[in-house]
Amino acid sequence: MTLSETEDTVPGRLRIDKWLWFARFFKTRSLAAKLCNDGGVRLSGAVVTKAHAAVRPGDVLTFAQGRHIRVVKVLALGSRRGPAPEAQALYEDLAPPVPEERLEDPYRPPGAGRPTKRDRRAIDALHGEGE
């Protein structure tokens, strides 16, 4: 590679921040670059600390996206940020995110919290009040 060539002009390689943006994992390229510069991306097991790191087809990327850890295999590099079906053809999801579980239990155990109006009426009926 000569000094005049950049990572973008070498065939078969693409900057990791551009690829993450092309594949629609991040809304902006600067968000992808920030994650790379902060060391939040692993490229085939090695921590990436520069956004200009080269990615090739066959590489495995591991990174956090929201509350999930994404593990994707690069299938193609792409040439633009296209529509979602085009972006999904760039990678294979090796560990799809699991659906979020509800934080709250729909069943309220007895004695937990304030009684509902129905509970209050049942209590009143037991005590013989409200007749």
- Write the pLDDT tens digit of every residue in 46-69: 999 999 999 999 999 999 888 788
Q: What is the CA radius of gyration of the chain?
A: 25
Range with lowest mean pLDDT among 4-8, 42-46, 86-90, 104-108:
4-8
Cα–Cα distances (Å) from 12 to 77, 111, 120, in that order, read 8, 64, 70
Phi then psi for residue 89, to 5 deg, are -80, -10
Question: CA 29, 35, 37, 42: dihedral to nearest 10 degrees?
Answer: -110
d(CA 36, CA 52): 9
Classify strands 54-55 and 46-48 as parallel, antiparallel or unpaired.
unpaired
Show the domains of the chain with their CATH numbers: 1-97 (3.10.290.10)
Do the beta carbons of residue 51 and residue 33 sit within 8 Å? yes
**Residue 99, amino acid:** P
Q: What is the pLDDT of residue 89?
A: 93
- The model's pTM is 0.67
d(CA 65, CA 27): 11
